[in-house]
Amino acid sequence: MRSKTSDTGPAGDLRRAINHTGYYPEVVSDGVFSAVGGEEMVAFYLHHEPTFDRDEVRRHLTVAVHTTSRLVLAHTDEHPGDDLLPDPYTSTSTEAVSLSAIRSVVVTRMIANPTSGPSSAAEAVMTIGWGGVGRIDLEPAGCEDPDCDADHGYTGVVAGDDFSLRVSAAADGGEAVARLLGFAEALSALTRGA
């Protein structure tokens, strides 16, 4: 097992990537590596994005770490201060999910000009489901009779939506999209026997 202070392998790469963002690197590293707990890292993905709140822009950092036994997700946000904490502050939330609990890894790739042959994805969305959060999309049900005014109830879809991340080449760069697809591939391999 690697030390959480290791500067080699994925742990060192993650530490350097966090430092490179310049977004409260000590705070983010402390939250992420505390949640990882010194466990060996297999892969990671880091996504730095702005969030818009009325007329303010705040930053948000998501770090997903695939360890030998868990998926660790960390989200760090900055806040301007409020009634409880008047000074600006950050909040870091972490969640650890056993790899055996992961039920699905959904990957959507958007390819521009597909008739031109294979090309790099312009955008990718990765959604990971383990049953912790579900989403229900309902709409009024109907029938094919245009004169029918009966109440047919509702129809809908129940979908697992525990974690979703969207990355685009236009906003984040082509390398970020490729890294997300690589991370998703590593997680997808774990669902083979599930």
- Render pLDDT for 114-139 as a digit per residue (tens, 0 to 9): 888 778 999 999 999 887 666 677 88
Query: How far is 103 from 107, CA to CA, in rounded Å?
Result: 13
pTM of the shown model: 0.79
User: Same domain for 66 and 117?
Assistant: no
For the chain, give the percent of residues with pLDDT over 90: 57
The dihedral through the CA atoms of 51, 53, 54, 55 has a sign that is negative
**Helix H or strand E encompassing 27:** helix 25-36
User: Same domain for 29 and 64?
Assistant: yes
User: Same domain for 126 and 67?
Assistant: no
Domain span holding position 78: 1-100
Inter-residue contact 134 to 158 (CB < 8 Å)? yes
Higher pLDDT: 129 or 44? It is 44
Q: Residue 147, Cα to own-chain centre: how many angstroms?
A: 46
> Which of 78, 100, 122 is where one domain is finished?
100
Structure tokens at 143: 């029938």
How many of the other CB atoms lie within 10 Å of CB of 31? Answer: 22
- Rounded to the nearest 5 degrees, what angle is found at the Cα of 130, between the Cα atoms of 186 and 62? 65
User: Same domain for 74 and 94?
Assistant: yes
Q: Name the residue type at position 182.
A: G
User: Same domain for 74 and 119?
Assistant: no
Mean pLDDT over the full length of the chain = 87
User: Same domain for 79 and 111?
Assistant: no
